[in-house]
């Protein structure tokens, strides 16, 4: 029913089952001072945090039933992808806030797909690392499958770049370093993500910038869950020809040929492409269709990083080039090796020896050594230099003597030759 009065609003709130009867009576008494305008009441509900804007829209549209899933109350929608929708939710019994991923029904319509999904979810529950979003549990209710994950209050890399622009070298390197540490943990347990991209790398806390009040924490999303879903059904944002899983903008060349047989080095390539996005604001090959992009990843080098910006050190260009090598054998062997190489590039300030790609210009002011060179030596320094000067004088006299003897010999030789010719 349309919300055209405070009475109809109270009726809808009562039907939502989000408020106990006594709480609703107290709310009505409190809001009476706002007058008969339901819009003012709805604005106050959101401002006071009694409802989220998402919840209010569902109630107004008569879809309050969508706000409940098993033991969870849905608070907000965080995103949507090929695998399903992600919500911010509250576990009513345990009183904790979580991220709830609800898997698309059609992806698990076949028993074989459900079996593989359940096995890989159980494996994903074993992933415990500070740089991987924790999967706490999985379940189903009324035929709807969901995953409970830790809620990360932050922004993914795509949104950070959209909001703030391309990242500083140190900031991009720190995010890539932490992502590499998370990948290394997963790779050691036999997982290959196969869909590393900026939107799957979340940053919480503060950004990694000099004025930050707290450190940045990077979390990888969907670790261990892409393969079980992607191989069975096509997903929005993913490309497949029967075997291909991944996002074309960030896909490794070998993954485009057969995503079932790729190893951890494919994740490193994708991390390199995501790294490229952090530094330039666009993927390596932004133009064309999905097929065009895949062909470029297979056959063409991306535009050079230093063609876009001049402050990228040669060492970082080398790192990104190695990550995005077409031949997997030329990439890093492990993500940990990458993380170690990136560590010096994450530090702030001039003390970082690799921040400069060229030798800095010499100052016009004289250095201390140059100033000292212009001054006369002290008496003590003169005494130290005297033996050296005498030694050099001895050498000079010796050389002069040799030269004189040689000239005298040449003169004698010339005279003898002249006498002989007469």
pLDDT tops 80 at residue 229:
no
Q: Which among 30, 315, 344 is positioned nearest to 170, based on CA atoms? A: 344
- The 10s digit of each residue's pLDDT in 77-103 is 998 877 789 999 999 999 899 999 998
Mean pLDDT of 326-334: 96
Superfamily of domain 154-346: Transferase(Phosphotransferase) domain 1 (1.10.510.10)
Q: Order of strands across the sheet with 72-80?
A: 68-69, 72-80, 84-91, 96-103, 144-150, 135-141
Q: What band does 422 get if pLDDT is binned at 50, 70 and 90?
A: low
Q: What band does 416 get if pLDDT is binned at 50, 70 and 90?
A: low
How would you class 128 by CB atoms within 10 Å of its CB: exposed for 0-12, middle for 13-18, buried for 19 or more?
A: exposed
- Count of C-beta atoms within a 10 Å radius of residue 231: 17
What whole-number distance in Å separates Cα of residue 203 and Cα of residue 153? Answer: 8
CA–CA–CA angle 255, 261, 263 (5° rounding): 80
What whole-number distance in Å separates Cα of residue 258 and Cα of residue 253? Answer: 9
pLDDT tops 50 at residue 220:
yes
* pLDDT the model gives residue 400: 59
Write down the number of H helices and E strands in the chain. Answer: 15, 9
Mean pLDDT of 137-143: 88
What whole-number distance in Å separates Cα of residue 408 and Cα of residue 412? Answer: 6
pLDDT tops 70 at residue 60:
yes
* pLDDT the model gives residue 234: 38
Pick from 101-105, 122-126, 127-131, 357-361 the range whose average pLDDT is largest. 127-131
Active-site option among 4, 153, 195, 222: 195
Pick from 30-44, 238-252, 407-421 the range whose average pLDDT is largest. 30-44
Mean pLDDT of 53-68: 95
Active site residue 37: no
Look at the chain and count its residues: 422
pLDDT tops 50 at residue 274:
yes
What whole-number distance in Å separates Cα of residue 265 and Cα of residue 25? Answer: 60
- The 10s digit of each residue's pLDDT in 247-257 is 899 999 999 88
**Predicted TM-score (pTM) of this structure:** 0.73
* pLDDT the model gives residue 150: 93
Q: Which of 98-102, 365-369, 375-379 shows the lowest mean pLDDT across its residues?
A: 365-369
How far is the CA of 306 from the CAs of 158, 284, 314, in angstroms? 21, 13, 9
Q: What is the mean pLDDT of the chain?
A: 82
pLDDT tops 50 at residue 389:
no
* pLDDT the model gives residue 351: 36
Per the model's pLDDT, the better-predicted residue between 297 and 81 turns out to be 297
Distance of CA 73 to the CA centre of its chain: 31
pLDDT tops 50 at residue 199:
yes
* pLDDT the model gives residue 109: 80
CA–CA–CA angle 260, 266, 269 (5° rounding): 155
Distance of CA 225 to the CA centre of its chain: 19
Residue spans of the domains in the chain: they are 1-66, 154-346
Per the model's pLDDT, the better-predicted residue between 258 and 313 turns out to be 313
- Structure tokens given for 28: 């009505």
pLDDT tops 90 at residue 22:
yes
CB 334 within 8 A of CB 264: yes
How would you class 219 by CB atoms within 10 Å of its CB: exposed for 0-12, middle for 13-18, buried for 19 or more?
A: buried
Q: Which among 181, 189, 252, 191 is positioned nearest to 225, based on CA atoms? A: 191
Classified as helix, coil or strand, 217 is strand
* pLDDT the model gives residue 384: 44
Q: Which among 335, 239, 359 is positioned nearest to 290, based on CA atoms? A: 239
* pLDDT the model gives residue 401: 63
What whole-number distance in Å separates Cα of residue 183 and Cα of residue 267? Answer: 8
How far is the CA of 299 from the CAs of 24, 56, 99, 306, 366, in angstroms? 64, 50, 39, 21, 52
């Amino acid at each position: 029913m349309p919300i055209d009065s405070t009475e109809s609003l109270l009726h809808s709130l009562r039907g939502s089952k989000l408020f106990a009867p006594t709480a609703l009576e107290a709310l009505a008494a409190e809001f009476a001072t706002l007058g008969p305008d339901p819009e003012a009441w709805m604005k106050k509900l959101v401002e006071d945090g009694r409802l989220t804007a998402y919840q209010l829209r569902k109630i107004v549209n008569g879809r309050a039933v969508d706000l409940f899933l098993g033991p969870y109350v849905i608070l907000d929608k965080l995103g949507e992808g090929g695998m399903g929708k992600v919500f911010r939710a509250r576990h009513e019994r345990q009183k904790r806030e979580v991220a709830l991923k609800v898997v698309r029904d059609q992806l698990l319509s076949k028993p074989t797909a459900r079996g593989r999904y359940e096995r890989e979810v159980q494996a994903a529950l074993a992933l415990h690392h500070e740089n991987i979003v924790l999967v706490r549990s999985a379940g189903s209710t009324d035929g709807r499958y969901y995953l409970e994950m830790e809620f990360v209050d932050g922004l993914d890399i795509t949104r950070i770049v959209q909001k703030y622009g391309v990242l500083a070298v140190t900031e991009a390197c720190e995010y890539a370093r932490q992502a590499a540490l998370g990948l290394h943990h997963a790779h050691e347990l036999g997982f290959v993500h196969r869909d590393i991209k900026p939107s799957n790398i979340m940053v919480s806390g503060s950004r990694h910038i000099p004025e930050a009040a707290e450190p940045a924490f990077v979390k990888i999303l969907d670790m261990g869950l892409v393969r079980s879903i992607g191989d069975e059904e096509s997903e929005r944002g993913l490309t497949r020809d029967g075997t291909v899983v991944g996002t074309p903008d960030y896909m490794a060349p070998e993954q485009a040929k057969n995503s079932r047989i790729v190893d951890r080095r494919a994740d490193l390539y994708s991390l390199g492409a995501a790294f490229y996005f952090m530094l330039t604001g666009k993927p390596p090959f932004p133009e064309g269709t999905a097929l065009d992009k895949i062909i470029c990843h297979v056959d063409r080098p991306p535009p050079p990083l230093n063609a876009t910006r001049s402050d990228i050190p040669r060492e970082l260009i080398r790192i990104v080039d190695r990550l995005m090598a077409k031949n997997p054998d030329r990439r890093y062997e492990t993500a940990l090796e990458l993380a170690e190489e990136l560590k010096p590039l994450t530090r702030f300030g001039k003390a970082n020896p690799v921040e400069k790609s060229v030798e800095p210009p010499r100052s016009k002011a004289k250095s201390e050594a140059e100033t000292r060179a212009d001054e006369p030596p002290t008496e003590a320094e003169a005494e130290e230099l005297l033996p050296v000067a005498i030694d050099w004088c001895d050498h000079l006299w010796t050389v002069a003597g040799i030269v004189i003897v040689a000239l005298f010999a040449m003169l004698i030789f010339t005279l003898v030759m002249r006498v002989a010719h007469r």
